[in-house]
Structure 1
């Protein structure tokens, strides 16, 4: 019982510190009667979930100390930031990271003042919080992050508190199935703690209101062994939680030996537990009213101010902190030591554990090239061979994730050396399923993203491959991760982690067979909204440039890299040596496709993306055939960020370099993979922007042939030639006959597709023959 009294003291101290963060500017130890000037002018934060989070912290620390267990803590109710900060301060790790927030009265006052205060820290469990890998500002991803952290971490337990509001989201509902992908020997353990306090912001929660028998059956159906911890009387709850955790960790030991199911805990406590029971005649504790700030207007309402003081004194702070504001020995004795503290675990600062990948030389996978644009390769299949050997060389810290599309995206060579991770039932007809597989496929982009984020943030590497149109499903998750990286880069003690690498294939221009629903390149626009310091976008036009880009991305740190590459055969354009030079520059003139020599061009044909590049080259060939006197410069862009000025992105080009390449007074016909306005957005301040004419996807699509898809959006070769005729001064009347032939050629191609269901052979099999 002495041990439980110490746990209760820790819990009361954490609750006291949490309330102080929400309310107080001064008088942190209540050494004088609370006065209005001690209260923050704006009361921000979330109390309702916080005492439950503190309760779990306190009890998990006992397990860590007794069993020598490595553990990290993921707080799904991310608004419970006061709990995680209080915990880190009590453990001492907060003061280690932020010496000015010392473990004494002065430090406590600074701890309180900074919370949700200008120039301070966010109200969420943010990157600034030691021990965190999950912000939780947007709900739904805690359990996926937890499993991602557990993969390839056999000694780690990831305790993951799932709020009952969060449990209503689609991503979280799918995340319960992550246990089917966990290998008992090579992976760690996820301990889900479903915290049912009954309410969201204003409404009851579904799982808190269904009968307990039904709830237990639900989680047994998911494959867990649920344990119920329910009540509101602290002494009884401490005893029940301690006994339950002892059983749970015995079951975890059995699970690691191949016996039984993964345990989980269903924790039922009142929302706003230990807070005001009633305010202004209305119930608060145990209701939705405790969700955020139970006592509002404390500065102006003497009765509320008195209630706040009574609430804070109910934790008996004089028993918890000495005269200098330091936690008393009874509390400190419950805290694990060194890196075993959950707020100091290196697993929660993954850059401390990160090792560089052992990468094979990507040059060894090069496609041989005798002359440009005369023979095809499947870029992602070529990349698959490289990734196969990356997996072989890094058997414990690299994974490929995707929503059932690894083979569809032509990365099948990876299955020469590994299988798809799978820990559920198998049938003889299954293909490459095995516990411990390095490829993770589940038909949920949310899970793939969440797993990979958790994996990266705990110090490993990976790649997420996806159909381009459906990566939009994780737009918000991308936003959150990019913001996390941006914030982390400003925090000195956060070590760089491996970049989040997207490979988007089955893209808009070759989804002609699946139709309009599968045709959307707009993820690039979403990515470009983020700070330049954390995002990169690459559009390699052939296999060798894809290899060069992939090697670069896998070596990078603290970025989100988006690579768009086709899986269908495309013409090879560069030798490997040329590809490396081209990717290093980020863009460049294709000398062999240009005929401007040392003279100023009459027109610049720019392109970004594999299909737009193909059509641009075909247009250049037509111009050379029919208008040989016209000086044409062809420029291909791999690194989209190069189009920006250096003031906007570190990869940006100076105005002088941009002007030299694109000219300031000649027409630029830009054929782009995505929505045209993105190019205008990137270049609107450049000289000669008025001369820029961008072709790209304009929401015209259907089930049709590849070339008809290009024609629907006016990125095809014939329309590009027509654009040149229309934009080059003085060319319109001279080339009127050619313009008409181009329009006729479009009509013939479309008629051919309507009659035969395929593109004309001269288009389908076109190669560069100049």
Structure 2
């Protein structure tokens, strides 16, 4: 049954807390944030003493008050049952104290033991262990309720768009700080939704811009604009801006929820909150201004434990929240605070499990793998305007792409959409030119950190095509795979199938996979096919022996290929060698999963590795990556002196496909001569 799009304004009118409860919730959140930075334990009912203060205060205060103000107003909506799903996306940097405070007050943050959710010990543990406790000091998936942990500024708005895509029941609310608003990815995301057909079955996105005036070290660009220019800026982008200093946020939030438009539509609201940096914190200390200055970014008071003047300021600051009104003597938030910060029901919003394609029916082409997966729903293909160039879809010239395709000429937006889509339980694929995929290296690295903590969400899948061997001088860069393999993360898979059929089978697996970052390298011009008798072994172990000499004969040389282009070249080189000397004992190996060469839980076992590459034999490996990428994997196995690796070399000038192969010593003639010299060298040893 299709999901219904909730009337979020009506939902909020029914569940929202009274203004006094929201104010108390905001004060409770602010108190806990400041306490985490400064206190060894939280004494809301006792007089503060210098002994209560940490020796080295750490953490970020400046972004916490506006984030807390948003949390206090939105929490009832986020916890609203049954009608839909409201998801908060923390894009504002360094909001870890806020997320931890919110998780404690809602009862979601449980300790390692089986004690009560709220207690004096639990409250003291939250405060005293920050930022070195089990949850750390930044936003991570270890904090309950965190769907997206960021890690670098920029993606939050586009990730929220990916979460709302094809999900009419979902409202995604990204909190965007001044610093994030300056990034190119955020700037592109404001108009990116226009790449989606208006009126699609999408949910809503309500951006909240926390315009406190400063990025980390100085005035932010957006805050340098007067209010009428900020209004014109967002109006020009196609939004309806609602600007508030926070005093009327309740009213403006109601207006925003009334103005919501499905993703892909123009005129949707954006809330702009203009409270100053460090709002509700100390205005000054010893005559030095603090409020609204860069000093508020982290800990505005550097040593209140030892400095009496700073201690007096800290004591007044914490007392200004009247914590005794907000917490009971056993560390629990009061009932009024809990009405504004309710616990989200434990049962998730009901979703039917998406049926997967029949695994026994293997596709023969990339297009077939994509259309088979799309037919089962909950799937998106994202691409930076390159699908026809990469020959991935069966559509003819001038035909529109299928509705499950989203194209926008921005690799980072494509990744953020994919990330939001997969973080909400759906499967997706990003297809990109090899040369431009490295743009997303940092985003993928950050998402790997997220996967380590979240486990089995749908995999992040990349299809890398238009390889540098074929492309122009400016379109050559295989660096993404090198960067990912250098991380040595067992969740990374780099698939290098030998032909189109193997590539299609691999892609079909990726599109039902969970918990990995999968990269499939595929030449769009690939047409040579090889016998499939060893395909199951390749898929199961990561590599297979295709041919070998007579039984008990000593292998003189192992010829190994990585990827489809190199499979073709190495096979042709093998044939040329045997035509010249039919008595040569050659072992032919193909590496289907490049990440299996190193040492990882999924990698080749020692026995399988020795079977592929006998210890006495020299090995010639051809790879579409940089040669050093393969050598670094092999280094984990021990000495690599007997391995000679040829692969992509950066050209010194523009040249043809054939010239690039020659430059990289990957022509059939170059491979044959290298193989003959290796055989002669090892026979003479």
Query: Are the counterparts in 2 of residues 101 and 110 from structure 1 also a CA contact under 8 Å?
Result: no
Match of 1:392 among 361, 368, 375: 375
Displacement, 1:688?
A: 6.0
CA–CA distance in structure 2, aligned partners of residues 318 and 311 of structure 1 = 14
Name 2:90's counterpart in structure 1.
75
Query: Are the counterparts in 1 of residues 494 and 595 from structure 2 also a CA contact under 8 Å?
Result: yes
CA–CA distance in structure 2, aligned partners of residues 730 and 687 of structure 1 = 21
Output one character per residue of 1:435-482: Cα deviation in whole Å (capped at 9) or x when no partner: xx2111111111000011011111111111111111111111001000
1:499 and 2:480 matched: no
Q: 1:725 to 1:456 in 2, by over 3 A?
A: same
Query: Are the counterparts in 2 of residues 143 and 175 from structure 1 also a CA contact under 8 Å?
Result: yes
Match of 1:196 among 198, 211, 214: 211
Name 1:565's counterpart in structure 2.
522
Q: 1:687 to 1:450 in 2, by over 3 A?
A: closer
Name 2:356's counterpart in structure 1.
358
Name 2:509's counterpart in structure 1.
552
Name 2:496's counterpart in structure 1.
539
Displacement, 1:188?
A: 0.8
Displacement, 1:546?
A: 0.9
1:271 and 2:225 matched: no
CA–CA distance in structure 2, aligned partners of residues 601 and 433 of structure 1 = 50
Moved more, 681-690 or 271-280: 681-690
Match of 2:250 among 242, 249, 273: 242
Displacement, 1:668?
A: 0.9
Name 2:71's counterpart in structure 1.
57
CA–CA distance in structure 1, aligned partners of residues 135 and 174 of structure 2 = 23
CA–CA distance in structure 1, aligned partners of residues 458 and 298 of structure 2 = 35
Query: Are the counterparts in 1 of residues 500 and 526 from structure 2 also a CA contact under 8 Å?
Result: no
Name 1:601's counterpart in structure 2.
555
Match of 2:661 among 689, 706, 710: 710
Output one character per residue of 1:22-74: Cα deviation in whole Å (capped at 9) or x when no partner: 122224425243223x3334322110010000001111235567996631111
1:169 and 2:183 matched: yes
Q: 1:130 to 1:689 in 2, by over 3 A?
A: same
Moved more, 240-249 or 166-175: 240-249
Q: 1:88 to 1:731 in 2, by over 3 A?
A: closer
Displacement, 1:96?
A: 8.4
Q: 1:212 to 1:87 in 2, by over 3 A?
A: same
Displacement, 1:628?
A: 1.9
Match of 2:584 among 613, 617, 630: 630
Name 2:454's counterpart in structure 1.
488
Displacement, 1:261?
A: 1.8
Task: Give the total of aligned pairs.
Answer: 667
Q: What is the alpha-carbon root mean square deviation over aligned residues?
A: 2.6
CA–CA distance in structure 1, aligned partners of residues 678 and 372 of structure 2 = 49
Query: Are the counterparts in 2 of residues 73 and 159 from structure 1 also a CA contact under 8 Å?
Result: yes
Q: 1:613 to 1:171 in 2, by over 3 A?
A: same
Q: 1:131 to 1:182 in 2, by over 3 A?
A: farther
Displacement, 1:547?
A: 2.0
CA–CA distance in structure 2, aligned partners of residues 534 and 354 of structure 1 = 27
Match of 2:413 among 429, 447, 471: 447
Match of 1:142 among 156, 160, 163: 156
1:519 and 2:476 matched: yes
CA–CA distance in structure 2, aligned partners of residues 551 and 337 of structure 1 = 39
Structure 1 counterpart SS, 2:181: helix
Structure 2 counterpart SS, 1:175: helix
> How does 1:25-424 map onto structure 2 within 5 Å?
25-29=40-44, 31-36=46-51, 38-63=52-77, 70-95=85-110, 102-117=117-132, 119-180=133-194, 181=196, 183-184=198-199, 186-230=201-245, 237-238=246-247, 240-252=248-260, 255=261, 261-336=267-342, 338-339=344-345, 346=348, 355=353, 357-361=355-359, 363-366=361-364, 382-394=365-377, 397-413=378-394, 415=395
Query: Are the counterparts in 1 of residues 537 and 543 from structure 2 also a CA contact under 8 Å?
Result: no
CA–CA distance in structure 1, aligned partners of residues 553 and 514 of structure 2 = 42
Q: 1:270 to 1:257 in 2, by over 3 A?
A: closer
Query: Are the counterparts in 2 of residues 10 and 331 from structure 1 also a CA contact under 8 Å?
Result: yes
Displacement, 1:167?
A: 0.6
Q: 1:701 to 1:101 in 2, by over 3 A?
A: farther
Q: 1:133 to 1:617 in 2, by over 3 A?
A: same
1:689 and 2:679 matched: no
Displacement, 1:693?
A: 0.8
Displacement, 1:182?
A: 6.7
Name 1:741's counterpart in structure 2.
none
Name 2:5's counterpart in structure 1.
none
Name 1:621's counterpart in structure 2.
575
Query: Are the counterparts in 1 of residues 562 and 622 from structure 2 also a CA contact under 8 Å?
Result: yes
Q: 1:98 to 1:333 in 2, by over 3 A?
A: farther
Moved more, 352-361 or 135-144: 352-361
Ranges in structure 1 where 5+ consecutive residues have no aligned partner: 231-236, 367-381, 417-428, 490-495, 734-770
CA–CA distance in structure 2, aligned partners of residues 257 and 478 of structure 1 = 25
Output one character per residue of 1:300-319: Cα deviation in whole Å (capped at 9) or x when no partner: 32322232222111100011
Q: 1:629 to 1:317 in 2, by over 3 A?
A: same
Displacement, 1:345?
A: 8.4
CA–CA distance in structure 2, aligned partners of residues 385 and 2 of structure 1 = 51
Name 1:579's counterpart in structure 2.
535
Output one character per residue of 1:143-190: Cα deviation in whole Å (capped at 9) or x when no partner: 011101111221211111111111111001001113322754511100
Query: Are the counterparts in 1 of residues 34 and 318 from structure 2 also a CA contact under 8 Å?
Result: yes
Name 2:400's counterpart in structure 1.
432
CA–CA distance in structure 2, aligned partners of residues 636 and 66 of structure 1 = 54
Displacement, 1:731?
A: 8.4
Name 1:462's counterpart in structure 2.
428
Query: Are the counterparts in 2 of residues 360 and 389 from structure 1 also a CA contact under 8 Å?
Result: no
Output one character per residue of 1:338-368: Cα deviation in whole Å (capped at 9) or x when no partner: 33xxxx6847xxxx968355214474533xx
Name 1:759's counterpart in structure 2.
none
Query: Are the counterparts in 2 of residues 271 and 285 from structure 1 also a CA contact under 8 Å?
Result: yes
Q: 1:398 to 1:488 in 2, by over 3 A?
A: same
CA–CA distance in structure 2, aligned partners of residues 259 and 274 of structure 1 = 37
Ranges in structure 2 where 5+ consecutive residues have no aligned partner: 1-15
Query: Are the counterparts in 2 of residues 596 and 632 from structure 1 also a CA contact under 8 Å?
Result: no
CA–CA distance in structure 2, aligned partners of residues 596 and 297 of structure 1 = 77
Output one character per residue of 1:635-694: Cα deviation in whole Å (capped at 9) or x when no partner: 1100112212xxx30122233332232121221111111111122211125466211111
Name 1:590's counterpart in structure 2.
546
Displacement, 1:221?
A: 1.4
CA–CA distance in structure 2, aligned partners of residues 664 and 122 of structure 1 = 46
Of Structure 1 and Structure 2, the greater helix share is in: 1
